Structure 1
């Protein structure tokens, strides 16, 4: 069995649209939600906020 990796993800909605991140280098179109691995030492909310800011540029 594969190990479980804690992660945080965000669903960001504006009007009738939501934010999806297109993954590059894939054979088919693959999308993901902003977020990432969660180091259990940090608070979930602060990790998610930082990950979203990083993706926003």
Structure 2
């Protein structure tokens, strides 16, 4: 069985933005994780824009 492994890196400079912004980033990335788990296309073809499916999850 093959597994995909995803990681989230938050650099020190991001931590300087404060806990509310860091939490926002974590929640944003969690929505992308939900989309991957549910096999939903959450961005445009080039990955530039979020899809309606992403917005509904958010």
TM over 0.5: same fold? no
Structure with greater proportional strand content: 1
TM-score, reference length from structure 2: 0.33
| Greater RCO structure (CA 8 Å; 6+ sep) | 1
TM-score, normalised by the number of residues in structure 1: 0.33
